[in-house]
Amino acid sequence: MERKLNLILLGAPGAGKGTQAELISARYGIPAISTGQIIREEIASGSELGEAVKSYTSKGELVPDSVVIDIIKARLAKDDCENGFILDGFPRTVPQAAALDEMGVCITDVISIEVADEDIMTRMSGRRVCKKCGATYHVKYKPSPAGENCGVCGEPLTIRADDDPAVVKSRLEIYHAQTEPLKEFYDQKGLLKIVYGQEKLEDTTALTAAALEG
Chain residues in the site for ligand AMP (CB under 6 A)? 13, 34-36, 39, 56-57, 60-63, 68, 89-92, 96, 162, 171
Q: How far is the CB of 153 from ligand AMP (least distance, A)?
A: 19
**At its nearest, how many Å lie between ligand AMP and the CB of residue 59?**
8
- Residue of 134, 193, 214 whose CA lies nearest to 11: 193
Q: Which of the residues 75, 92, 123, 128 is marked catalytic?
A: 92
Dist CA 59 CA 191 (whole Å): 32
Whether 17 sits among the annotated catalytic residues: the reply is yes
169 catalytic? Reply is no
Give CA–CA dist 180/114, Å, rounded. Answer: 11
Nearest approach, Cβ of 6 to ligand AMP (angstroms)? 16
160 is catalytic: yes
| Rounded distance between C-alpha atoms, residue 163 and residue 18, angstroms | 14
Residues β-bridged to residue 6: 85
- Is residue 150 packed enough to be buried (19+ CB in 10 Å), middle (13-18) or exposed (0-12)? buried
Residue in the shown chain whose Cβ atom is closest to ligand AMP: 36
Reply yes or no on whether 193 is catalytic.
no
Catalytic pick among 40, 75, 127, 128: 127
- Minimum Å gap between C-beta 144 and ligand AMP is 18
Q: How far apart are CA 128 and CA 135, in angstroms?
A: 9
For residue 33, the SS3 value is strand
3 is catalytic: no
Which residue, 38 or 207, is less far from ligand AMP as judged by CB? 38
Hey, which residues are catalytic here?
17, 92, 127, 160, 171
